[in-house]
Structure 1
Amino acid sequence: MAEKDIETVPDDLFTNDTIQSFSWLDVKVTVKDRQTKEPLAILDSCSGYAQAGQLVALMGPSGGGKTTLLNVLANRSQAAWTGYTKVNSSPIGKKELREISGYVEQDDALTGSLTVRETIDFAAQLALHGLSKKARQGITDSLIAAFGLRQQENTVIGTPIRKGISGGQKRRVSVASQLVASPKVLFLDEPTSGLDSAASYEVMKLISDMAKKHRLIIIASIHQPSTTTFELFDSLLLLSKGRTCYFGPVETVNTYFDQIAPIPLHTNPAEFLLDLVNTDFDTSERPQTKVDLATVQNAWSNSEAHRLLQSVLTRSESDPKPTLSTSATHPTRPLRLDLPLILLHRNFIKSHRDLLTYGTRVAMYTGLAILMGTVWLRLPYTQSSIQPFINALFFGGAFMSFMAVAYVPSIIEDLQTLKKEHANGLYGPLSFMIANFLIGLPWLLLITLIFTVITYWLGNFRVAADGFWLWVLWLFLDLLAAESLVVLISAIVPIFVVALAAIAFANGLWMSVGGFLVSMGTLNVFWKYVFHYIDYQAYVFQAMMVNQFKDTTYDCERMNGGDEFYCMYPSDLQSEGKIRGTAVLEAYHYPYDDRKTWEWFGIMLGIIVGYRVLGYLALWARTRGA
C-alpha cells in the first residue's frame, strides 16, 4: 500500500500521545486435563512488551498457545489466568483496556449483504457518537482510501448466493472496521488466515505502515508468514507448548539462533523456526529437528535476552507511571437509545438484500399457500368438508410455524456479529433483541398477508371481512411466536445443525400436543399440563377453528335418498338437514365466546414476549464474560 494512501487518514483520528507501551509479565493459563484430570499448563510464565508504533508477531505451531495468549492480552480469555498486563507500566482493567483497544477475530464476522462502505460506516455509527454525518463520512472515506478499497467500496461483502469481495479485502475491511473506533492497541488473530502469500503481504504491509504512521501498538498471532511478510514485524514472540522459545526483535532472530540451530541461508526464517519448535509430526530428516524443543526452551530461559527482558519489565515497576486517561483517547459511545435504531437500519438493509433472510421465506410461504389453496380447493359447506376444513386449519398454522426454521442461517450470522461487536463494547444483547424483533414485524406481516390472500379464498373459508382479518391476526401471531422460538434456540445453541434439529423437534412437539392429532380427552396428563398450555400452535389452531366454525353451517347428507338426514355433529339445526358450526367446536371442547378468544390472544402475546425475554437472557449469559 502506498504511503500516500495512508496519508489520507486524518492524523487526529489515531492521535496516540498517552499510550507508549503495552506489556505482559509472567502470564500463566492452567486448565484441568480432560483425560488425566491433572493440571495442564496452556501458557507458562510468558512475558513480553510492545511499544507505540510496533507490530509484534505471536508465532508458533498449532496448539502452541498463540490465540490463548492473544485472548489473555486482550482480556477476553474464558479460562482463569494469572500474571499482569500493563499499559505504560501501569496495570489496566478490563473496561479500561476495552476503551483503548480493538480485536479482529480470525473469522471475518461481517454482514455479507452490506457493501464495504456501509460496513465501515455502520462501525463508525456504533463506535462514534456526537460526530456530524459529514465528519463520520470523512473518516469512512479516509479508511476506505487507506486500505485500498476505493474500487470495492460499493461492492457487497458477499453471501452464500451472491459473490462479493475477496478474502484479502475482507480482512482489510475487518481491520478498518476496528480502526474506525481509533484504538491505540489492536489485537489481530491470524490476520492472514486463508490468504495467499501476496495477499498476506499486502494486508500486513498496510497494517505495519499504519502502526508506524500513527504510533499504534499492534499484536498479531500469525501462523506461517512468508519471508517478506515476516520481515514486516518489529518483534517476535515464539511459543511452543505454552512456553516461550524466543522474544525479541525480528532482526536479531538469526543471530540468536546461531547458537542453538543456525538458520540456513536462503531459508524462510519463520518456516524454519516453526519446524524447530513443532513436535506434532515426525520431521527427523530435517536438520533443525536435531535440537529438541526442551533445549530451545531452556536456551531461552537461560539466555541474556531473557534476563534483559525480565529486567526491563521488572524495572518498569518502579518507574513513574504516566497518566492514562481513556476519556481523552477514545470517543464517547453512542447513547443506548440510539443503538437499536442504528441496528434496525442495518437490519433493514440486510433484510431486503439478502434473499436468505426473508426473500427465500416469502417464496416458500407463497409456494405453500398455492399448494394448500389448490389441495383444499373451494371446499363446499357440506359435512364431508368439515374434516378437510379442520385439517386445513391445522396444516396452515403448523407448517407456517415449522417453516420458520429457514430463518436459522440469518439469525446465526447476526449472532456472530453480535458476539464480535459486543466484545468490542459497541452494544449489548438488549439493543440487538429490540432491533431484531422490530425488523421482523413488517416482513412477517407481508408473509401473512400473501399467505392469507392466496389460501383464504381458494380454500373457501368463511366469507366475511372479519373472518379474513382474524386469519391474518392469528397467523401473524403464529409467525411471531415461531420466529421468537428460532431466536431463543439459536441464542442458546448458535450452531446451525444443532439449532435446526432443536427447532424441528420443538415444532414436532407442539404439533403433537396441540389437541388436533390427539384430542384433549385422550392426551395424557403429563403432556397436557406440562406442554399443551404453553403450546402457541394450540392457541392459533383453537382461534382459527372458532373463526371458521362459530358462524357457519354445513349441509348434512340425506339417508338413502329420503327425507331424513344423517348429521355427523348433532345440533339444533339437525331437523333442517344442517350442522351448526358451534357443534364442531363443542365436540373439540373449544369455547367460542369472545372473552375466551381474547384470553388466547393475551396468552399468545405472553408466549412471544416470554421467548424474547428468554432469548435476551440467553444472550446476556453468553456475552456477560466477553
Structure 2
Amino acid sequence: MESEEKKCLDQSKQGEKTPIFESAQFSKTYPRYYSTETNKQLPSAEISVHDVSYSIVTGSCLRKHSKRILTDVSGIFKPGLNAIMGPSGSGKTTLLDVLAQRKRTESLEGFILLNGQPFPQNFTFLSGYVAQDDVISLALTVQENLMFSASLRMRDCTHAERVRRVEQLVAELGLDQCQHTTIGDPFSSGISGGERKRCCIGMELVNQPPVVFLDEPTTGLDSSTAFSVISVLKRLSTLRNSTFIITIHQPRFSIYSQFGRLHLLSQSGQTVFHGPANEALSYFEQLGYVCEDYYNPAEFFLDLMLQSVQLSAFSPGFESQQAPIKTLSLVEHTANQSNIKDLVKCFRASELNKVLHDECETVLASEEGHFFDSNVKFSRSWFTQLHFLTMRNLKGFKIFPGKVIASWVVVFLISAMLGFLLFDWKYDKKGFENINGVLFFFVVVVVFGNFECLNAMLGDREIFIVESQNGYYRVSAHLLAKLLGDVIPRQTSKITVFALCLYFFLNLKPSIDSFLLFFSAGLLTCIAAVSLFVFVAAFTGRFGSAAALLPAISVMMIFVAGFFANVGTLPPVLAKLKYASIVWYAMSLLTTSQFRNVEFCDSQKLVAENGSEISPYLCERGESYLDRYSVNYSFAGCCLNFIGLAAFSLFFYVLTYFSWLRTARSRK
C-alpha cells in the first residue's frame, strides 16, 4: 500500500503544475444556434467544465482580499442524475451556480461549455434551478403554483395543453393527494416538507428544460422523504434524458446508489474524484483506502477528506479469521503531508482523470452538437405576466385575510379612542387645535403604520429573486402587479375604514366634497409612504437596516413639514425642504378639507371703548389658520399637492424598480 501511495505521489509531483487542459485552444468559430420547435423537449444537455477557478472578494472597504473558492475544477456532467458532494465550505453551491451561469464571469477563470459550445445568453430561460430553501407562494395550492409556472413559462400553447402538462407533473411527482391543498405557512396547516419540495421541483419542470440544477434538495427532509425526492429526480432524468445536477452533503446509501455521476470536492474546492458514482469506491481502493462493508460510501468519502476519523483498510475477507485487520490512521497514511492535497494529486495522476482529459479534448475539438435557440426569452407577453402576477397577489387576501382585518381593527380602535377623548368638540379655538392634532396624528399613523410592508416585501424578496432569475417575468411587471394586486387594495381598504371611522366618531366636516378630499389625500399619502418603505426595503434587503433608516427619515419629514414647527420660524434653506416631505403635502390637503369655508368662534365677547358690545363672539375663518401655516388651499393648490404626492410615489417606485433590477441581475 505504501508503494502504491509513493507511486501516486511521484506521478502527481511530475504533473502538479501542468493544467489539465493546457493544450486546449478555445479560438474556433462556433455555428449559430438553431431554433427549437415550440414546447418540444429541447436536446439533451451535456455540460463540460474546463479548469474552472472562482474567487470572491471579502473584507471591509479598506482591507479587501481575494478568497479562492474553486481551484482548477474540471468535469463533464451528462444526462442523468449528477451529484456534487463535499464537506461544508467546499464550494458545492458555488460550483452549482457557476454551472447554472449565476455567477459573475469577472471572478471566473477557465470556461464552461454546453454541448461543446459557449452558453447562450438566455440559458436561464432554457434551464431550471431549484433553490435550497423552498421558495414558493404560500397562498396558492400545489396545483395553482404549478399552473402559475406553466402559464408564464410554456410558450405558444393553449390553456388545455398547460392543464394537461400540470396534470402530468402532478402524477409524475406523486402530488395527487395534495394538489388542491394550500402550501400554508408556519401558522396554518398545509402540505408536508417533501410535498413542498416536489412542488418546487415541478415548477421548474413545466417547460421540460434539458438541464435542471438543484441545491441541496434533501435539506430539512427525513430520510424516507429525501429518498422519494431523489427517486423522482432519477426517474425523470431517465424518462426525459435530461441532465439533473444536484448538490448534496451526506446522503444515505439508498440515495447515493441513485447517482449516475459523482463529483467530489475537497475542503479547498479542488476535485478529488469525478466519474461514474459506481466506480468511486474502486478508485479509492486503488489508492489504499477501502470502505468497510455496511459503511455508507458518502460518509466514507467525507471522513476521508476531512481527516476527522481513522479509517480502516481491509483486505478482501472482511471478518474472516484468515484475513487480519489492518488499521491505519489518515495521518500515518499520508506521510506527514496534507491528505486533501494528496487526494487531489492522486486524482490528477489517475487513469480516470486521463479519460476525463480525453473526453474534454474531444468536446473542445468537436464542431458539431445540439444547439439552443439564443433568441428565446420570456415565454409570455408583459401584459400576460402582469395579469397572472396580479391575480396571485389578490389570492393572498382570500387565503390570509387576517393581515388586512388586523389593520382594520387597529384603525377602528384608534378612531374610537380619539372620538372618546374629543367627544362633543366645538368649532372654537380649542376645537381647531384638537382637530389639527387629530389630522396630524392621522398622517403619522398612515405613514408609520406601513412597517408591515417591510415583512411583506422582504418575505416576497426571495420568491422574486428566484422567479425573475429563472425567467418567469419581467421586473416591471412584478412591480406594477405588486402595486395593483397588493398595495392599492390593501391600503384602500385600510384608509376607507380609517376615514369612515374618524368621520363617524369625531363628527368631522359634514360635506361630500370634504370627505372625498380627506379620503383621497389619505390614500395617496399611504401609497407614497409605502413607496418609500418599499424602496428602502428593496435597497437594503434587510429588515434591521430598513427598520433603522425609516424612522429617522420619517421624523425628518415631520420636522420640515411646518406643522410640528412653523415653516416661518425655520431657516430659509430648511423651509424649502417641506417640498420633500410627504407630511407637508398630506397635511396641506387634510387641513384644507376640514378648515376651508369654516368659522371658529370663541365665547369671548368684543367690547368697544365706550363699553358697548360689538359682537357677542370672536370668530375667525379657517382660511386664516391655513394662511398661518402657508397652506395653499385653492383648487390649484390642492392639485399641486396631489401632484407632489404622486411624484413622490413615482420617484420612489422608479428607484425600487432599479433596485429590484439590480437584485435580479446580481451574481455574487
Which residue pairs with 2:209 in the alignment? 183
Shift of 1:497: 2.7
Q: Distance in 1 between matches of 2:213 and 2:465?
A: 16
Q: Distance in 2 between matches of 1:261 and 1:576?
A: 104
Shift of 1:147: 1.0
TM (normalized to structure 1)? 0.90
Shift of 1:492: 0.8
What does 1:292-371 correspond to in 2, within 5 Å?
292-326=339-373, 333-355=379-401, 358-371=404-417
CA pair 45-342 structure 1, distance change in 2 beyond 3 A: same
Which residue pairs with 2:120 in the alignment? 93
CA pair 401-33 structure 1, distance change in 2 beyond 3 A: closer
Contact 2:38–2:156 (CA under 8 A) maintained in structure 1: no
Contact 1:356–1:409 (CA under 8 A) maintained in structure 2: no
Pairing partner for 1:589 from 626, 630, 634: 630
Q: Distance in 2 between matches of 1:477 and 1:235?
A: 58
What does 1:356-505 correspond to in 2, within 5 Å?
358-439=404-485, 440-505=487-552
Answer with 186-195 or 405-414: which moved more.
Answer: 405-414
Matched, 1:272 2:300: yes
Count of residues paired in the alignment: 599
What does 1:33-432 correspond to in 2, within 5 Å?
34=59, 37=64, 39-52=66-79, 54-78=80-104, 80-95=107-122, 97-240=123-266, 241-258=268-285, 259-278=287-306, 283=309, 289-290=330-331, 291=334, 292-326=339-373, 333-355=379-401, 358-432=404-478
Pairing partner for 2:640 from 588, 599, 615: 599
Answer with 134-143 or 504-513: which moved more.
Answer: 504-513
CA pair 506-17 structure 1, distance change in 2 beyond 3 A: closer
Unmatched 5+ stretches in structure 1 = 1-11, 566-572
What does 1:20-39 correspond to in 2, within 5 Å?
20-32=45-57, 34=59, 37=64, 39=66
Q: Distance in 1 between matches of 2:607 and 2:155?
A: 80
Please list the CA deviations of residues 272-306 of structure 1 after superposition, one character each: whole Å capped at 9, or x if unmatched: 21122226xx6579966435222212111211111
The residue matched to 1:555 in structure 2 has which SS? strand
Q: Distance in 2 between matches of 1:378 and 1:473?
A: 26
Contact 2:45–2:211 (CA under 8 A) maintained in structure 1: no
CA pair 44-543 structure 1, distance change in 2 beyond 3 A: same
The residue matched to 1:94 in structure 2 has which SS? coil
Matched, 1:557 2:603: yes
The residue matched to 1:316 in structure 2 has which SS? helix
Answer with 37-46 or 429-438: which moved more.
Answer: 37-46
Q: Distance in 2 between matches of 1:145 and 1:346?
A: 24
Contact 1:109–1:417 (CA under 8 A) maintained in structure 2: yes
Shift of 1:245: 0.8
Q: Distance in 2 between matches of 1:435 and 1:33?
A: 37
Contact 1:16–1:216 (CA under 8 A) maintained in structure 2: no
Contact 2:100–2:213 (CA under 8 A) maintained in structure 1: yes
CA pair 360-126 structure 1, distance change in 2 beyond 3 A: farther
CA pair 507-373 structure 1, distance change in 2 beyond 3 A: farther
Contact 1:113–1:353 (CA under 8 A) maintained in structure 2: yes
Please list the CA deviations of residues 190-243 of structure 1 after superposition, one character each: whole Å capped at 9, or x if unmatched: 111111111111111111111011111000011111111111111111102110
AA partner of residue 94 (structure 2): T
The residue matched to 1:86 in structure 2 has which SS? strand
Which residue pairs with 2:579 in the alignment? 533
The residue matched to 2:273 in structure 1 has which SS? strand
AA partner of residue 634 (structure 2): D
CA pair 248-356 structure 1, distance change in 2 beyond 3 A: farther
Q: Distance in 2 between matches of 1:20 and 1:427?
A: 24
The residue matched to 1:558 in structure 2 has which SS? coil
CA pair 600-434 structure 1, distance change in 2 beyond 3 A: same
Q: Alignment RMSD, CA only?
A: 2.5
Shift of 1:14: 8.7
TM (normalized to structure 2)? 0.85
Shift of 1:360: 3.3
Q: Distance in 2 between matches of 1:608 and 1:574?
A: 48
Which residue pairs with 2:565 in the alignment? 518
Matched, 1:18 2:59: no
CA pair 288-410 structure 1, distance change in 2 beyond 3 A: farther
The residue matched to 1:157 in structure 2 has which SS? coil
Please list the CA deviations of residues 582-602 of structure 1 after superposition, one character each: whole Å capped at 9, or x if unmatched: 222222222322221211111
Q: Distance in 2 between matches of 1:252 and 1:574?
A: 107
Please list the CA deviations of residues 519-548 of structure 1 after superposition, one character each: whole Å capped at 9, or x if unmatched: 21233455433x421111211011111221
AA partner of residue 587 (structure 2): F
The residue matched to 1:242 in structure 2 has which SS? coil
The residue matched to 2:82 in structure 1 has which SS? strand
Shift of 1:18: 2.4
CA pair 352-495 structure 1, distance change in 2 beyond 3 A: farther
Answer with 531-540 or 366-375: which moved more.
Answer: 366-375
The residue matched to 1:461 in structure 2 has which SS? coil
Contact 2:603–2:617 (CA under 8 A) maintained in structure 1: no
Q: Distance in 1 between matches of 2:176 and 2:448?
A: 44
Larger radius of gyration: 2
Shift of 1:88: 1.9
Unmatched 5+ stretches in structure 2 = 1-36, 313-327, 609-613
Q: Distance in 2 between matches of 1:464 and 1:444?
A: 23
